[in-house]
Chains A and B, each alone.
Chain A
Amino acid sequence: MKYRVYFFFIIFFPVYSFSQETRLSESIISIAEELAADESDPEAISLYIEKLFDLFENPVMINSADQDEISRLFFLTDFQVKILSGYIKSSGKIISVYELANLPGFEKETALMMIPFISLGEVRKENAYHSAWRNTLITNIIWKPEYKDSSLLGSQVKILTKYKFSANGFSGGITAEKDQGEELLQGNPPLPDLLSGHVAWSGKGLIRRIVIGDYSARFGQGTNINTSIHTGLSLHAPGYMSARSEIRPYTSTDENNFFRGAGAEFSISNLSASFFYSRNSIDATLSTEPDSEYIKSFYTSGLHNTSSSLLKKDVITNLVYGINLSYNLRNLRIGTTWSEERFSLPVRPDLHDPEKIFAFDGNSNSVYSIYYNSLINKILLYGEFSVNNLMRHAVLQGLTIRPSDRLSINLFFRHYDEGYFSFHGNGPGGSSNTGTGKSILGNFMFEAAKHLFISGGCEVQEFPWLRYRTSSPSYRIKRAIRMRFVPNDNLLIESSYYYNMTTADSDEKNRIPELKNLTTRSLSTTFRYSLSENLTMGTRIYYKLAEQKDTRGMILLQEMNYRFGKLPLTLWLRYCLFNTDDWDTRIYTYENDLLYSYSIPALYGRGSRSYLMAGWKLSDKADVRFKYGVLSKLQTGNIYAYSEEFRLQIRLFI
């Protein structure tokens, strides 16, 4: 699983009087569309959105001054958490979110970004932990009527159910999921395709957290262990934010990239230690040779809706264990991580394929890493070095400078050696994976005038070995610039330009193909305006050009969000027309969706995409959300083909 989440994008959402969830969506849109456009693993988006919704629904009690509580704002750096906590302790209480922008290490955008996810309300005496039992049950049902395939084992309905409880620092939960085409219950004993659970305890003393069951972990910059959300830089990022090391209960739906066992965090003064142990069953494609059983490849989609995919389910036992130690000095944090990973069968790549010459071969892998981050005046330095048992390494180094309160500049370099593997690692970088290669990235964020923000960046990636559809060393260049204008609380205007140049094999046959450049440029403009407290409108225009084929794509969409005054009802409407010449000029558009869910269709061809979503709050203990979407596409012969989708969500709080 290769996560790449640029949560820096959310730095751009403004303070406008849109509804809370509209604000949240603004932050999600940029991130999710960028992820989707890079064709990263959809689970990365899922995880990110889940984190944001979780924060949105359970905002951080910022005035608690508790570092653990504040660190739930996963987009803040360790230093920002520390500074914020210290400020609240010394000054008492934050009255306005605008105070945050004046803190050292913070900037206006960071403060704005935090708004939907924090509460300035009364601090609970029990700190971050509820004293009463709190139960939450959420069920999503997704049905696509036209999704019919006789080879599928189960119904076309996708069902996801999550149950969580918490009280006095204790928490627990169960997640069950059945994807489209999967059987409702399978195996012996009959269980859902994904069944995940955990119990956890969080405290303030020596033992900070213990999780038994399914959990995720991240240490340092993530090149060694990171099954949680991936931090990183985008071309628009105003600064680098390194997420805190953590062991957290796992509640997402990726069926392979999590730990199953036990993990614990301990802390004595400035020293923190984490231990983890996991024994999980994962999916893989095995060899069919009778005398030599080995892993041909890992199967990571999580779909088990056909007989052949079901044969890949849970066929490998994956054992992972390790230790992380970190020590805090005043403005310096240093840490080290060791992890060991074993598979029940060896991995044997096809070494006749030149692309796989450096692929992992064997059944165990050890990784050692050291990392640091340090704040010196207005300069943030961070880096990590990891090496595996083959003495292949990964190194990254970053620098953030804030020469003035209105300008921040980032530089970031990473290098992943051929032969460096970390199956549960996911370090930062501009690429969607932590595969081999080098990249250097620079970006800036500038408050050019009152209410006007300009940001941009450039990244150059070098791939010294062969890649998919690329038979020789290659490179990639990305550039972007974005302007955001927020003249008042009710209006947002944003324009952005992207340039993406990558390489791929030419179409020549019977010889080693030469590389050809594939360049796309896209321009998008968004207007978002709030007509009243209850009504928000949005207009977006996209234009995309694929240079080599000279093909074009464009989209015009209008959306509306209305909250009824007297009824506990909210409506979301979107009407979108698209016209693209081919797949290369496809455009990804984020859609409002059920809570803890998302929809980012890639629109191509000619047609329209519309949806209507309604959310009804039945009581303080229950709400329902329903979405109907329809995609209509013009086919040859002036005939329209369409696909409908129904989504239903029920939530209960007890």
Chain B
Amino acid sequence: MGRIPAINQRFTGAYQATEQAQKIEELQSEVEHLRAAQSPDLEAQLEVLREQLKLQSGELAIEVALIQANPHQPRQTITSESIQTIAQSLEKDGQITPLILIPRGKHYLIWDGQRRWEAAKLLGWQTLQAVTAPMPKDLHRKALLTFIHHEDLNPLDKAEAIVKEIAESTGITADEIPTMLSTVLRRLERAQLINQLTGLVAGTPEVQQQGLRQLDIGEKEMSLLLALLDLGLNPASVKANLLSMLALPTDLKQAIRERGLKGAHALALASLSAKTLRTSERQATKERLAVTQQMIDQDLTVAKTRELVSQIKAKYLNSEPTESKEIAIATKGLERLSSDTLKAINQNQLAELRQVLQKKLAEIDVILSK
């Protein structure tokens, strides 16, 4: 009977596939678990809050005109497209979830539901269903922490929200923050201490405080870095990826907010400045707007954008007027015409010369006056 081949070996591939599939499933559930633990599910949290508030104050119909946008709303970017989509769904299905509002005197600030509010205005609705919540002490911080690790927040909004929060918690002015951060980071870089700083991101507040003390930095700088670490942010990447957004020209900021321009693209476009192109601000802005349009229309990659940018730069820098030999020779020739020579030639020829010179002068005037 032993002569019949065993079946076990025939299953080697199937065993491997089974084991692999199981490992993948385990890893996936672990990832899900970690994700849930790391960034709290926004919708779920809001749902709980909404239910609590409904029980406390009940659902109210609030006049759309009395509702105000929250100036601390970190999501500054609300595209008209997303509002259109929400308006359509409001019109079709009605309002399903109530807004969360904070009463302020006669008015209400939006805690959650900015886009539904914008959509309702678009539809000409008079009222919206809402629940109200008391004003939290640290509205901005709470809103920020819920949004900060949210992927759909663009880097510009993120940067502004972070600077605002840091300014509030440390007392350093918003203008000072970018400069102070780059100064201290540059110093740490030179002292090769950047890795030590980055290592503190995952630490407890005590570890962070202690770690910062060893870096030999000023009091203000310390509170700045501590505030960033406290938000779970790596100061070096905040500087590299976010603060550069704040220095962008207005047209690019606007494109990020209203037309979904990506951060990396914006940085590439920003190098088309009046200074690098050696041209006027107006001309530089015009170039940027044209490329931005092209990028959005054609959905260009960052690499392609950079290529386009360098083409434009080349166009400007090469077209710099060069000295022309021809002109130099002509000028010299004219100078060499002594008054004796002019006197000696016939009137017709002289009149002809005058005509040519006058024509050339007019052309030169036009070019120079540009």
Is B one of A's binding partners? Answer: no
The chain A residues found within 8 Å of chain B, CB to CB, are none
The chain B residues found within 8 Å of chain A, CB to CB, are none
